[in-house]
Chain A
Amino acid sequence: MIIAGTTTSTGENTKEMFEDLLKRTHQQAFHLALRLTGSRTDAEDLVQEAYLRAFRFFHRYDPSLPFTSWLYRIMTNAHIDDIRRKGKLKTSSLDEPHPETGVTWDLPDDSASPERLVVNSLMEAEIQDGLNRMTPDFRVAVLLADIEGLSYEEVASIMKTSIGTVRSRIHRGRKQLRSFLLKAKPEKYRGMLE
């Protein structure tokens, strides 16, 4: 019997392998988690939960498949579980500053010098808010395709569903985001999205 902290040499190798994978993948995992949750704190919690679950079940990981696909399956399931547990979607008021960036919904002063930077930050906050309000299953599918650049087949594998369902979720998710932006800032997005 091997208890608490003492492991075989093979166990040490496995641990080193896992740590190496963690070091190489955690930044990209964080980026996906941030877009899924809309909050740095929640993203860190989600990533940590995903790696802990992955470590506990690392003996079930098939090394012939990409580690990130396996990790993202764990992470997106944890994300959906968390939403169901909380029983509601996380949303923010259009009248309040964005919780992460502090950016408000007011359009920037055109005469301000860092206009381009401010506009980019503002659009990021608006898009992220739209993602936060998206149906969770749609959001996962859209982000895996548009942030991670995965194929529909890979998304279907991660979400344990059919390619047809992935196709539908991505389409409906993007339409939800478009509708949100048009409703939230019609004067800004009407010319682009309508």
Chain B
Amino acid sequence: MNCKFVESRLAAYIDGELDGAEMLRVRSHVSECDSCEREIAELRLVKTMIGSLPNTRPDPEFESRLLTAVHADDTRTVRVNGVFSLRLGWGGLTVAAAASVLAVIVVGINRDRSEQVAGVPLPPISRDGFESDQIYFQSNSPLSSGVTVSYDGAASNR
């Protein structure tokens, strides 16, 4: 046990995040090391300072502004049978509709060709004409702001 070992565990020691054995080892060292004891006292004070920052509240109107923003965002979302959602501005709706029609036609043509060539029946196609396990869109994530198309492959009721 030395100061370097304790140094890497100081925050966890202060926050009670060490397991019992490590906690005892650090405590034993600190009881004999003025330098580490002082370091702990200072960093504990820093933690207290941060935790003591006043709990500042937003403006009273902030909640209604947030709700308004969410409502506005919701009206820009297009859903197809609760499964597949596109987030588009109104200008994009026309393009989306055209793309949907084109996709259905292409899938239909390919299906006919496959049946003719292989002579093997294909699995049933969903009502929308999409094979849910074969069509992928660029994945979207709440942790990313860049992409606005999502497809989960499972029913969603949002």
> Contact residues of A with B, CB < 8 Å?
1-5, 7-8, 10-11, 14-15, 18-19, 22-23, 26-27, 30-31, 34-35, 40, 43-44, 47-49, 51-60, 73-74, 77-78, 81, 120, 123-124, 127-128, 131, 142-143, 145-147, 149, 151-152, 163, 167-168, 170-171, 174-175, 177-178, 192-194
**Nearest CB in chain B to that of A128: its residue:** B53
Q: Is the Cβ of B142 less than 8 Å from the Cβ of A56?
A: yes
Whether, in the assembled complex, B23 has its beta carbon less than 8 Å from a beta carbon of chain A, the answer is no
Q: Is residue B34 contacting chain A, with contact meaning CB distance below 8 A?
A: no
Secondary structure of the A side of the interface?
Answer: helix
Alpha-carbon distance between A26 and B57 when the two chains are bound, in angstroms: 9
Nearest CB of chain B from residue A73's CB, rounded to whole Å: 7
Which listed residue (B46, B53, B54) contacts A178, Cβ 8 A?
B46
CB of B49 within 8 Å of the partner chain: yes
Closest chain A CB from B100 CB (angstroms):
9
Chain A to chain B contacts (Cβ below 8 Å), 26 pairs: A1-B78, A1-B79, A3-B93, A4-B76, A7-B79, A11-B158, A14-B157, A18-B70, A22-B70, A26-B63, A31-B55, A44-B62, A51-B69, A56-B87, A57-B150, A59-B156, A77-B144, A81-B144, A127-B49, A142-B50, A147-B50, A163-B17, A167-B12, A168-B8, A171-B12, A178-B46
Given A59-B156, A170-B15, check contact A146 B47 (CB 8 Å): yes
B contact residues vs A (CB 8 Å cutoff): 8-12, 15, 17, 42-43, 45-47, 49-51, 53-58, 62-63, 65-67, 69-70, 73-82, 87, 93, 140-145, 150, 152, 156-158
Given contacts A2-B79, A8-B82, A35-B53, contact A74 B58 (CB under 8 A): no
With the chains together, A54 CA to B145 CA distance in Å? 11
